[in-house]
Amino acid sequence: MTTFTLSSFRDRPLQGRDDCTFCQIASGSQPAHLVYESERCLAFLDILPIRRGHVLVVPRRHVDNLAALSVVESNGSKTGEAGEAEEFIRGLVVVTRGVGKALEDDRLQIITNQVYGQVVPHLHFHIVPAPPLPGSTPSLSSSTASSRTSPKKETPPPQRSLLPLIGHGRDELDDDEAVELARQIRAAVDEVVKEETARRTGGPDAKL
């Protein structure tokens, strides 16, 4: 993917902080198909998806890379309150689960570029559905659990067999399809948030 990234973005101008597309999306001045929002994190469909369901997860605050996220709160918040880095990673996990649930397949590639090919210098993670292997079936936690009881076990293919299947074509997102896809992913993410909240608090009516 690095070769494709470099050849595709070598001649494209880098955005600066003042014209950052992701900051504009975070402020609401630029439209996007949102699938998740929190105080410090948001996620939306990539307008040039590698595959259907390609989502970007970004912090609301403009930072260039992961190391720039704040670990300790600077506003005197109480001990135990989620900081910027913690909330961002939590959002990344929640959205990853939600995408897998919505697509009924949790085989996903999580990608971030901090130097090469990063046209928008605002930290972002790509959640990209992985290419299906020939003859494979969707992999979800529930189906994985049931398959453990099956006497027949399939030998996983060698990693190199995935390489020819990694697609590099990126067509612009169809707006009509994106509306429905974002709705499906958003609903799945909401389910994940509710499940996680109930698990942490011990009750289905608990609030975040």
| Digit-coded pLDDT (tens) for 3-13 | 334 344 444 45
- pLDDT interval class at 14 (50, 70, 90): low
* More reliable by pLDDT, 2 or 76: 76
Q: Does the active-site annotation cover 124? A: yes
- pLDDT interval class at 80 (50, 70, 90): very low
Q: Residue 192: its pLDDT value, please?
A: 96
* Class of CATH domain 2-138+163-198: alpha beta
Q: With a cut of 70, say whether residue 156 has pLDDT above it.
A: no
Single out the catalytic residue among 33, 54, 124, 168. 124
One-letter amino acid of 2: T
* pTM of the shown model: 0.73
Burial 38-53 (b: 16+ CB within 10 A, else e): bebbbbbbbeebbbeb
Element (H, E) at 108: strand 108-111
Please list, in sequence order, all residues whose beta carbon lies within 8 angstroms of the beta carbon of residue 5, skipping any fewer than 6 positions away.
113, 116, 117
Dihedrals phi, psi of 24, to nearest 5 degrees:
-65, -40
Domain range annotation of the chain: 2-138+163-198
